[in-house]
Every structure is written in C-alpha cells, then in structure tokens.
Structure 1
Amino acid sequence: MADSFGRTAVRTQGRRAASAFGGRRPGTRHPLVAVAMVLPLAVLLAVVFGGWEAVMTQASSVAGMLGR
C-alpha cells in the first residue's frame, strides 16, 4: 500500500512540473518536433533505396486531391 502511495505522489509531482512548463504531459512532443526528427531519416532512406520518384509521385497526387 505504501509503494502505491509513493508512486501516486511521484506522478502527481510530475504532472505539476509539466503543467508549470507548458502543460504537456510527460512522453508527448509537439508534432513539428516529431516531423523534424523523422524527416531526415525518411529522406535518406528514399534516396538510398531509390524511392524518391515514388515519394514525389505520391506528394503530387495528394496535392492534386487537395486542389493545389
């Protein structure tokens, strides 16, 4: 029972600290940060495996569906 109380207290303190620094829950990140982390690897893989044309075709197709 005491162990459960200790974990609850630590979780509550973590939530208070997170809310003091922008309100984000621990373990979450802004979507733009996630894109910035993944994009270089995605470009590298597309170039190395020759999928760049397929990526551009898909991007063009999506842009066409969006009306741009």
Structure 2
Amino acid sequence: MAFTAGRTYLRSQARKPAGPRHPLVAAAMVLPLATLLVVLFGGWDSVVTQASSVGVMLGR
C-alpha cells in the first residue's frame, strides 16, 4: 500500500485558511444567481407575497 498521509498533510497545509467574507462580497456572489432564478422561474410574485405576509405577521 502507498503511504499517502504525508502528501495529504502537505496539501492541507498549502491551502490558505478561509476567513469570513465581507457581507458585500457575499451579496455580490449571490445576487446574480438569485436574479437569474427569479427571471427563469417567475418568482418575483412569490417573493412579494412572502414579504407581504411577513410584514402582516410583524404588524406592519
């Protein structure tokens, strides 16, 4: 059997640790996909309906 534990350890040490992303970076990553899904599936009406019902539940 080949000894692979050493190589795996070296590969894991070579990666940069992933820290928390800035909220604007996260939004920039998500918004294009969300927009595409809304356009493809016609989800704008459901988003408005959900937001409206949440507003009613909160008493606004």
TM-score class, shorter-chain normalisation, is 0.5 to 0.7
Partner SS, residue 17 of structure 2: helix
1:10 partnered with 2:2: no
Q: How far off is 1:33 after superposition?
A: 4.2
Deviation >3 Å, runs of 4+? none
Q: State TM-score, norm by structure 2.
A: 0.54
Sequence identity percentage: 33
Structure 2 segments unaligned to the other structure (5+ residues): none
Distance in 1, Cα, partners of 2:59 & 2:13: 47
**Alignment CA distance shift 1:33-1:52 (3 Å):** closer
Q: How far off is 1:34 after superposition?
A: 4.5
Structure 1 segments unaligned to the other structure (5+ residues): 25-29
Q: How far off is 1:64 after superposition?
A: 2.5
Q: State TM-score, norm by structure 1.
A: 0.50
**Alignment CA distance shift 1:61-1:39 (3 Å):** same
